Amino acid sequence: MPYHKDKQQAFQAAQQGTEQAKDVYANIVHNDPDYGTHLKRLKNEVTEAYQQIENALEVASEHQKSQLQQFQQDLQSIMNEVTE
C-alpha cells in the first residue's frame, strides 16, 4: 500500500500548492505599495506548485492526472492575469 499512499500524498501536495498560490493571488492589490513583493511571492508559490504537480503527475492515476492538469491551467491563468 505505500505506493498508493505516495500517489495520494503527491496529489495532496500539488493540490495544496495550487490553493496556496490562489490564496496569494486573491490577496494581491495592484495599487498596493508592496505589489512587487507580493508578485514575487506569487511567482514563487506558482513555481513551487508547478513542481509539486510535475512530481504528482509521475505517479498519478488517470483521474488525478486530469485534476492535476486543471491545476496547471488554473496556475497558468493566474500568471496570465498578473503579466498583462
Mean pLDDT of the chain: 90
d(CA 7, CA 27): 31
pLDDT, tens digit, 9 for 90 and up, residues 38-51: 999 999 999 999 99
pLDDT of residue 21: 96
Supply the DSSP symbol for 25: H
Q: Given a cut of 80, is residue 65 above it in pLDDT? A: yes
Q: pLDDT value at position 6? A: 87
- The arithmetic mean of pLDDT across residues 9-28, rounded, is 94
What's the pLDDT at 82?
Answer: 87
From residue 47, alpha-carbon distances to 3, 40, 75, 84 in Å are 26, 11, 9, 18
